Amino acid sequence: MKDVKKKLMILTAVLLLCGVVYAKDYEVKKKAGDYDVNVKIDKNPPVVGDNNVEIEIKDAKGGYVTDAVVVVEYTMPAMPGMPAMKYKAITVLDGNAYKGKINLAMSGSWNVEVKITKGDKTSKAKLSIDAQ
């Protein structure tokens, strides 16, 4: 009896360990004008509800851009029984990354636009995510 418990505990530990190893962030690299944009979402795949987003932006020289205003717009086109949805999330700079939260109202494909404004210039990175 004790042996079975021990085996179960080891099995659980192995499963937990695997979970930790494979629970990777959802990550996409995109170009926005001259910028290299790296978008990370803490859920993989992104989920219906809250998802934390982390955005790193590098200029053409490879340096972090930390003085921009970064907004995330996410939309879903109209579908039968559902009007088009459009939301906006602001981000706050933390270290070298802009952090924000997007709340996906339903599962399916969302168009995400990262708008980077510096001075009077706005650059956009577009991606699409599939919420589960």
User: Which residues of this protein are in contact with Cu ion, per CB under 5 A?
Assistant: 76, 79, 82, 106
The closest of 52, 32, 36 to 44, measured between CA atoms, is 52
CA dihedral 79, 82, 88, 94 (to 10 degrees): -80
CB of 79 to Cu ion, least distance (A): 5
Min dist CB 78 to Cu ion, Å, is: 8
Residue type (1 letter), 53: V
Q: Residue 48 or residue 93: which is nearer to Cu ion going by CB?
A: 48
Give the span between the Cα atoms of 9 and 15, in whole angstroms. 10
Q: How far is the CB of 76 from Cu ion (least distance, A)?
A: 5
107 vs 122, which CB is nearer to Cu ion?
A: 107
